[in-house]
Structure 1
Amino acid sequence: MEADTVLKSPPTDDTAARVREVIAAAGVSQREFARRVVMDPSKLSRALSGTRRFTAAELARIADEGRVDAGWLLGTRPREKAQAPAAGVEGGRPLQIVRETVRLIAEHGFHAVRVADIARACATSSATIHYHFPGRAELLEAAVRWCMDEDTARRAARLAEADDAAEELRQLIALQTPRTEQQRRQWAVWLDLWAEAARSTTVGLLHSEYYRQWRETVADVVRRGVGQGVFRAGVDPQAAALTLTALIDGLATHVLSVSGPSSAAAADAMHAALTAHVDHTILAQ
């Protein structure tokens, strides 16, 4: 739903019920719907239970995803006034905005990216960007959350392909080695967000939660490997996860500092170093 104005009326008591209708019509879980509208799942849950109010920007994104009129969600217009999504926008305007924001952050850094740049990349107006994400802080939070969700989904897909925990760990290492353009862009975004996390409480909390989940994923894999007998019996899963993730971060930072043909050799060296570490400290002999 394209719009150049903000929502004026406050949400009514029936707004949560209408949002539930939209989620039900989408045929996905509440958590998945929160991912699609780039919203904190806990905030969506509290808004649906009535312990917090939806913001205008959240309702704009929900309306866009549900292909309904935002006024209907507010109770100010009938549902018949639902509008079609903007032509050619895959996944809806909010996700397009977030994806383009992530791309621009990877290329230029967050503080060099202006709302006007994002609007130009989305072939829309700055007013539309502000309609869905009123401020830079909210847009950055949405970009961080989207990156977290995408990374989590990729990890889950890789783990599902593995036959045992040793192969799971190899898949995770391959996924975190910045070889492809997409992987290098993802790492460039994370490096920029690390710096921002030191200055922003919101981003810092998201960053801490993401790394807690990431380390726990690795620890779970190590724990399964010990149980399967493919990893050493005395390995501490938490300590092994902390060391391995720290190695990945440090080596990836080095790889990203190298450009041109040398970057492929640097990625190979990173992969070899991580594999050697696993072989020498974790893998059963």
Structure 2
Amino acid sequence: MADRQASILEAAVRVIARTGVRGLRVEELAAEAGVSTALIYYHFKDRAGLVRRTLAFIGDRAAGYTDEALEDSEDARAVLIQLLLGELQDIPRVRENSIAWGELRASAIFDGDLRAPLAESTRSWSRDTAEAVADAQAAGLADPRVVPLDAAERLTALVEGLSERWLSGSLTLDRARALLTGAVDAELGPHPAPEPLAPRPA
């Protein structure tokens, strides 16, 4: 993606987070991005195309910061937890992404054109999470009876709800993160104790 398109999409996320999808005006976006309205129409054709591309951009950006959160993970179960906790971080791009995602999801109730791309983004997130659940099972760190996609859909839905409660001030971030970590334990079963080390020969 060209740098100019990326900067327009970053500005679109900020505007949607601030004013909602219905409040997104191409003129306001142009001012926010420091470009002409003609350039926005050149890259995105129309407002609907801009909104769809912004939704895809939010998904790509979320993948970037959740990947960053995985760098310190030690095992497959920790990878799953960090993948989910990556959505609950008090940094500007995560907050903007989460707020804009919530606005787009709410708008899809009334805007049929948004439903298919939103559903695909949600399925992609659920599939990635289900793979992490399956990896934890393969490593012996999760109950093998758990259906990975079922667990993934429950956990990602919980992330969305906890994120909204945190962002609206109904929950502290620490509480939201603790509840999410507890939900992973409830879904996967208790984290198995490490194998005891074999005694050293005398």
Superposition TM-score tier, normalisation by shorter sequence: 0.7 to 0.9
User: What pairs with 1:70-219 in structure 2 (closer than 5 Å)?
Assistant: 91=3, 93-159=4-70, 161-219=72-130
In 1, the alpha carbon distance for the partners of 2:95 and 2:122 equals 19
Residue aligning to 1:273: 179
Amino acid of the structure 1 residue aligned with 2:148: P
Query: Tell me, what secondary structure is at the counterpart of 1:176?
Result: coil
Deviation at 1:141, TM superposition (A): 0.9
Unaligned runs of 5+ in 2: 193-202
TM-score under structure 2 normalisation? Answer: 0.85
Q: Distance in 2 between matches of 1:131 and 1:281?
A: 47
Offset at residue 173 of structure 1 (A):
2.6
Q: CA deviation at 1:249?
A: 1.4
> Quick one: distance in 2 between partners of 1:205 and 1:101?
20
Q: In the alignment, is the contact (CA less than 8 A) between 2:11 and 2:29 conserved in 1?
A: yes
Is the contact made by 1:168 and 1:221 (CA closer than 8 Å) also made in structure 2?
A: yes
In structure 2, what residue type is equivalent to 1:181? P
| Structure 1 residue ranges without an equivalent (≥5) | 1-35, 37-64, 66-90
Question: Max radius of gyration: which structure?
Answer: 1
Q: Is the 8 A contact 1:178 1:252 kept in 2?
A: no
Comparing 171-180 and 99-108, the one that deviates more: 171-180
The Cα of 1:161 is off from its aligned counterpart by 4.6
CA displacement at 1:157 relative to structure 2: 4.1
What TM-score does the superposition give when structure 1 sets the normalisation length? 0.62
Percent identical: 29
In structure 2, what is the Cα distance between the partners aligned to 1:136 and 1:183?
24
Change (3 A) 1:280 1:126: closer
Q: How many residues align?
A: 191
